[in-house]
Structure 1
C-alpha cells in the first residue's frame, strides 16, 4: 500500500539540522539528487543558539531554542514520528564514561517522555558506537527497556555511514521503536561495499586550490601539530575519519596540503550540500558539523521509514 500522505515529525536535539535535512530531503550531494520525503517537521528543539540560527537559515522553519525540559510544554499533542540524536558525551569513547547517569547523555529521558506523550507510530534515536561497548551494556539495556515499557517494539543496529554514500568512516547506533500494534521496522542496509566507498580525494579535490572564503565556510584552523587525535592526516584513497564535535581546532589534516581541512571540507565529509551554510565562526561551526547526523545517511533512514509507514497503512 502506498500513500501521498504527509507524516508529522517532532525533532529533539536537532542541532544544526543534519538529521532533519535528511528527513525533509530535496537536496543534492556530489551531483546526486536526494528527493523530498513526505515528512513535515512540525516541532524542533535545540539548546545551542548558534545551531538554531544555522537550522533556521537552511531549513527555513522555526526551531524552539532552549532547554528541552523547559520547552516540552510546547510540544504538539501528537506526531507520527519522533527523531533525535540525544547527547552522547558521557558515552563516547572520548568521553568521561559516566554513561546515562551523566548530565548530558541522561537527556535520552527527554526523548522517552516525548514518546510517552505523543505516542508516535515510530521513533528514531541516533547515538555513538560507544553505546555498544561492554561497560555501557547496562546503560543500553536501560534505554531499550524504558522505551519498551511505553509499548514499543525496539530494535538497535550499528550502521557505518560510508555504506550509504557518506565519505566518512563514521559508525553510529540507530535505535528504532514501533508501537506494539504495528509491524516491526526493519533497518535499511547500506548499498556500497568497502571497495565502493567515496574517498577523501573524490569529495575534496575541487577545493584544494581555493583560497579561504568565509561566506561558504571554507576556513580552517591554524592549530599546530597535536600529540592527540588532531595529528591525523586524511588518506586520499579512503573516506575521511570521523568528524568530531570537540576537536578544539585539532581537526584532521588535508591529505596533501600543509593545513587542516576547512569547515566546508568537513561539511563535505559529513555529506552536507554546498548550499548549506553554517551561520557561525570557526569553532562553533566545527561543533555543529561534528555533532550532526550526516544528511545523506539520514535520508536513507528516512526513506526506509516512509516506505514502512506507507506499507503499513495510515491508521
Structure 2
C-alpha cells in the first residue's frame, strides 16, 4: 500500500491510500532511488576514503549509518564477543577497563569498517572509543554516492518528515532519510540490517507509515520484523520503549538457511519474588546502577527549569527505573536522592527540600548502560558555555541505543551467524 497526500482545507493533508502489488511497490521504490542517485554527484574524496576500507574475511563486516556515539555499535560488538567467549566472560571484559576491552574486542565476530554521522562531537566520541574503524564519514547521507559492501548494516534513521495528518512516502517528491538507508542496502546487499526508531513510528499515519516502510524494505530484498521493546526488560535501568526493525536477506539468509529472526525473551521482570520461577532477574534499579555515584556524580547540567519541565514528575525513587533519557541536558531527569516531587496543580509540580539536581553525565551514561571507560567528547569548543559543552554530551548519550538493549536485540543474529554462516565460510 502506498500513501499519497491529498490537499484539503487550511493547508492540511489527508492521506489517500492506494493498494499496490509488491511488484508495483518495488517499481516505485527503485524509480525513486534511481532519481536520488542521479542527484548525487560523484565525490573523489569520498571514493579515496573508501579505498582505505579493511574488510575481514573471517568476520561480519559492519556499516553503521547515523552512528552517533556508537551505542548500537558497541552492543553489536559485545554480542559478537559474547557469542565467541560466552556471556559471562564477555560481560566481565566489557565491565573491566578500556585497555582490557581493546585487547579482546577483535575476538568479536563483528568488525566495523565504515560509519557515517553529521554530529561532530559524536564523531569525535566514536573515533576515541572505536579506534579500529577505518573509514569515518561526516556527510549528509543524501549526498553519499557510494556505500561499501558489508554483511550487516545498522543505524537508527530519523523520520521527521511524517506529518500528523498522514505519512509522506516513496511516491512523494520530498526526500526521506529511510529511502537512503534502503539505497545503502541495495548497494551493499548485507545479510542483515538492524534499524532502531522511536515508539511513535508504530502509530504514525494510523500505522500506515510502518506498513509502507516494511513493504519498501521487502521490495529491497528483505523480510522485516518490527519489534516494540522496553529497555528495562533487558537489564537497562530505564523505562524506554523503542522499535527495532530487523531485516533478514530473503535469498542470502532466509531461503538458504531457513533463518527467521525471533525476538529474545525478556531477561528481567518487575514481579519481585516470581523472578526465580520465571527464570528472570528483577528489573535493575537506579540504586544498583548509580547508587555509588551519589557523592561523586561528576559534571551535570545546571540552570533554571522551564514550565514544561515542571509540568510533570521528573524524579523516580531509588528502587525504580529511570524515565527515558532524552537528548538534552536541560530535560535530564532528576537525581533520585532527596524528597520526591509533589503535584500542586494541573500540569504543575514542585521540588521539595534542598537535594534536587539533574542527573549527571556519568549517571545517564550508566543508565544507558555505557561502561565507565567509555569517554564522551564535548568538542572542546571554548567559545560556548560550560552548559553548552555539557549539553553536547547529553545529546549524544540520549540519542544512543542503550548498549545492553542493542546487545540483546543482536544476540540471536550473532549466535546464528557464528554457528551457521561463519562455520560454512571456514570450511
1:298 has 2:369 as partner: no
Distance 1:274 1:97 in 2: 43
- 1:172-191 residue pairs with structure 2 within 5 A? 172-181=242-251, 182=254, 183-191=259-267
Match of 1:63, SS?
strand
CA distance, structure 1, for counterparts of residue 372 and residue 175 of structure 2: 31
Alignment partners' CA distance in 2, 1:236 and 1:97: 41
Divergent runs of 4+, >4 A: 33-36, 88-91, 95-102
What is aligned with 2:143?
70
Larger Rg over CA atoms: 2
What is the Cα deviation at residue 129 of structure 1?
0.6
User: In the alignment, is residue 264 of structure 1 matched against residue 335 of structure 2?
Assistant: no
Relative distance call for 1:160 and 1:235 in structure 2 (3 A) is same
Q: CA offsets per residue over residues 89-130 of structure 1, 9 Å max, x none? A: 557xxx97875669x992111111111111111111100111
Q: Evaluate the alpha carbon distance shift between residue 285 and residue 98 of structure 1 in structure 2; reply closer, same or farther with a 3 A threshold.
A: farther
- For residues 171-215 of structure 1, the C-alpha deviation after alignment (integer angstroms, 9 at most, x for no partner) is 11011111212222222222111241111111111111116xxxx
**Contact 2:75–2:407 (Cα < 8 Å) also in 1:** yes
Structure 2 unaligned spans of 5+ = 1-56, 79-89, 272-281, 338-354, 379-388
The 1-side partners of 2:243 and 2:309 are apart by 22
Give the secondary structure class of the aligned counterpart of 2:319: coil
Asked whether the equivalents of residues 204 and 210 of structure 2 are also in contact (C-alpha less than 8 Å), the reply is no
Task: Verify the 8 A CA contact 1:48 1:66 in the aligned structure 2.
Answer: no
**Candidates 64, 70, 73, aligned match of 1:17:** 70
Q: Tell me the CA shift for residue 88 of structure 1.
A: 4.2
- Corresponding position of 1:108: 178
In structure 2, the residue matched to 1:241 is 323
Q: Deviations over 1:284-308 (max 9, x none)?
A: 1111011001111112223221112
CA contact (8 A) 1:232 1:253 kept: yes
Q: Give the Å deviation of 1:229.
A: 4.2
Deviation string, structure 1 residues 258-307 (Cα, Å, up to 9, x no partner): 21110111111100111111101211111101100111111222322111
1:84 counterpart = 2:155:
yes
Does the Cα contact within 8 Å between 2:223 and 2:247 map onto a contact in 1?
yes
- Note the C-alpha offset of 1:71: 2.8
Cα distance in 1 for partners of 2:221, 2:190 equals: 11
1:104-143, aligned counterparts within 5 Å?
A: 106-133=176-203, 135-143=205-213
**Correspondence for 1:255:** 336
The higher relative CO (CA closer than 8 Å, separation ≥ 6) is in 1
What does 1:49-68 align with in structure 2 at a 5 Å threshold?
49-60=120-131, 61=133, 62-68=135-141
TM-score by length of 2: 0.64
- Distance between the aligned counterparts of 1:72 and 1:291, measured in 2? 26
Question: Offset of 1:55 from its aligned partner?
Answer: 0.4
Q: 1:87 to 1:29 in 2, by over 3 A?
A: farther
2:395 counterpart of 1:287: yes
Query: How has the CA–CA distance of structure 1 residues 63 and 202 changed in structure 2, closer, same or farther, with 3 Å as cutoff?
Result: same
Residues 139-158 of structure 1 mapped to structure 2, 5 A cutoff: 139-158=209-228
Tell me the SS of whatever aligns to 1:169. coil
